[in-house]
Amino acid sequence: MAKIIKPSLQVEKIRQTWQEIYENNESEALEKLLRILRDFTQKHDIYQDLPDWHRDVVLYSLYVDLFSENFPKLTSRLDYFETLGINCLWLLPILDSPMRDGGFDIRQYDGVRRDLLGLSEDATEEEVRQVFQTFLDEAHKRNIRVIFDVALNHTSDEHRWFQEAKSNPESPYRDYYIWSKTTEKYKDARLLFKGMEDSNWEKLGDEYYFHRFYAFQPDLNYRNPEVTIQMCRNFLHWLRQGVDGFRLDAIPFLWKEEGTDCENLPKTHSLIKLIRAVVESVRPSTLLLAEACQPPHEVVRYFGDEDECHAAYHFPLMPQIFKALAKQVKHPIINILKPENTPKIPDSCQWFIFLRNHDELTLEMVSDEDRKLLNEYYLKDPRWGFRIDEGISARLANLMDEDPQFIGLAFSIMFTMGGTPIIYYGDEFGKLNDEGFYEEMSQQTGYEDTRFFGRGKIKWDETEHELKFADSYTSRVFRGVQKQIHVRNQYSAFGRGKIEWIDVQDDNDQVRDEILAYYLTYENEKLCILQNLSRKDVIVKLPFWYASSWDGTDLMYLKLHWHTSDNCIIMPPRSFYWFDMNK
């Protein structure tokens, strides 16, 4: 990464978006924000990266404590990520928190949790800062970027702002949150945590405060410009240390308006535009990743005119991948990616694709028919149910029957869908649900949150022992995923390519719907992907010509099984092949 000349402040963009949010009010607050930015850019040099680096990486998401206990130990495991082929780490919540919601209940925005630092209680602030700085520097030496979560919508009820607000109704921090004498306000806002909370309002003294998630996570009041300024300060703090980007948690809910469902409102988008203008004034290559569990036509709005988020999760694709695997047909995946279901996005933006993330196999945005089908196929233990049939809390390996071939097929689909893939920690070697962690956290938090099944610590002694044996379940899963990543890193088409679907025929010229096949093209690269979703052998005609000198293997050196019919192969159950059409 090369140092660059300081970028110019996007003053006009900041003024414009501020006007959209606060109209003709709060001009003094705006000038305060601009002064903060001017002072920052004058004092600090910030390192720059390629502006669209996020389109070519494989993300690996992890909880620092569950993966390796603390940052010094995570630093010592950076070679593991290099070996696997990972080039971007997404650190699940690391900011100071009482950890009642996995760290999404933030107690302090400009500090890492002390238990992640491996330091004594009497460590100095400089020692605290240096631990995370060392990790960042060592990751960057290996060309591994680092992003982490920032929950913008709410804080912990232990945050200093809320402590001040609840102890003194006259405190200026009272207006950092949303209060009401009754629970009648924002009645159209849906209850997100059905089965765990029965209201969006929580009584405190003579008033109620508003929350969209757990009651211990009061929502912030962005009508107060000081909240916006403080949040911008927090981003600047981490950019100074060298963080490469931020996952913006729960952003559809930032702005509230009476008479609306309080989701995806215009001023929410203006807030995101403002944040982007602020961070780009300091480091234009900063990634902003939208966590917006919404239909694609709503999610694409968070790209704005290439002036909001750079990337967003394709939430609806994930359950359709699982549906296609359950039904053993390609149509669910192709249908969800049609333009009427997945609108075109700006060229500089990207879909982030995942099989599992830190939560559940979400079924919130599928039809009742699909929800029934997916629950019947994948809910193998009723305890995995989340939010009254709206999710399944299980690890990928549990969902894939602990079958390395099935797991490999799922990864093949994710790695070749033309977006940026995300690996959830441990999935690369087939980590299973953690019963003990679920019991421990349920007792600790008082919430029987089934998402705890999919978390849990990595038992490195056991894992590393199993990885030594080529035929072990752990090793077979790991080597298969590693091979796919290393091939993927050699071709830009995997992250940037255009998909062209292929109807693959068998030796009787019949289209086989069990075969998910497509070309990926980008500039002078053209790849062909063949994937058998079924649990049986399928005879298929290769959709391309091959030279007589071809050795009959694909990019992963998998040997093809030839059929007696001309140009036909036998695809074993759940097999997959990747081909370079230019070789």
**Could you report the per-residue pLDDT of 150-196, keeping only the tens digit for each?**
999 999 999 999 999 999 999 999 999 999 999 999 999 999 888 78
Please confirm, yes or no, whether 26 is among the known catalytic residues.
Answer: no
Letter string b/e over residues 568-581, b meaning 16 or more CB atoms within 10 A of that residue's CB:
bbbbebbbbbbbee
CATH superfamily of 53-151+225-425: Glycosidases (3.20.20.80)
HSE-CB for 433 with a 13 A CA cutoff: 22
Q: What is the pLDDT of residue 358?
A: 64
Return mean pLDDT, the chain: 92
Q: What is the pLDDT of residue 547?
A: 65
CATH 3.90.79.10 for domain 497-580, yes or no, is no
Choosing from 26, 105, 263, 291, the catalytic residue is: 291
Give, in order, the Cα–Cα distances in Å from 412 to each of 327, 427, 481, 552, 575: 17, 13, 8, 20, 9
Q: What is the DSSP code string of 495-535?
A: HHPEEEEE--B-TTS-B-TTEEEEEEEETTEEEEEEEE-SS
508 token code pair: 């009787």
**Could you report the per-residue pLDDT of 123-145, keeping only the tens digit for each?**
888 898 999 999 999 999 999 99
219 against 50, higher pLDDT = 219
Q: How far, in Å, CA of 19 to CA of 11, rounded?
A: 12
Lowest mean pLDDT among 74-78, 217-221, 299-303: 299-303
Please confirm, yes or no, whether 249 is among the known catalytic residues.
Answer: yes
Contact 484, 556 (CB under 8 A): yes
Q: Where are the beta strands (DSSP E) in 30-144?
A: 47-48, 59-62, 88-91, 95-96, 108-112
**Could you report the per-residue pLDDT of 359-402, keeping only the tens digit for each?**
678 887 789 999 999 999 998 888 887 777 778 888 999 999 99
Has residue 1 got a pLDDT over 50?
no
- Give the mean pLDDT of 412-420: 96
Letter string b/e over residues 424-456, b meaning 16 or more CB atoms within 10 A of that residue's CB:
bbbbbbbbebbeebbeebeeebebebbbbbbbb
- Name the residue type at position 312: A
Two domains, one topology: 53-151+225-425 and 497-580:
no
What band does 2 get if pLDDT is binned at 50, 70 and 90? very low
Choosing from 157, 249, 307, 360, the catalytic residue is: 249
Residue ranges covered by each domain of the chain: 53-151+225-425, 497-580
**Could you report the per-residue pLDDT of 78-129, keeping only the tens digit for each?**
999 999 999 999 999 999 999 988 899 999 999 999 999 999 888 888 898 9
**Could you report the per-residue pLDDT of 431-444, keeping only the tens digit for each?**
999 888 888 888 88
**Could you report the per-residue pLDDT of 46-73, keeping only the tens digit for each?**
777 888 999 999 999 999 999 999 999 9
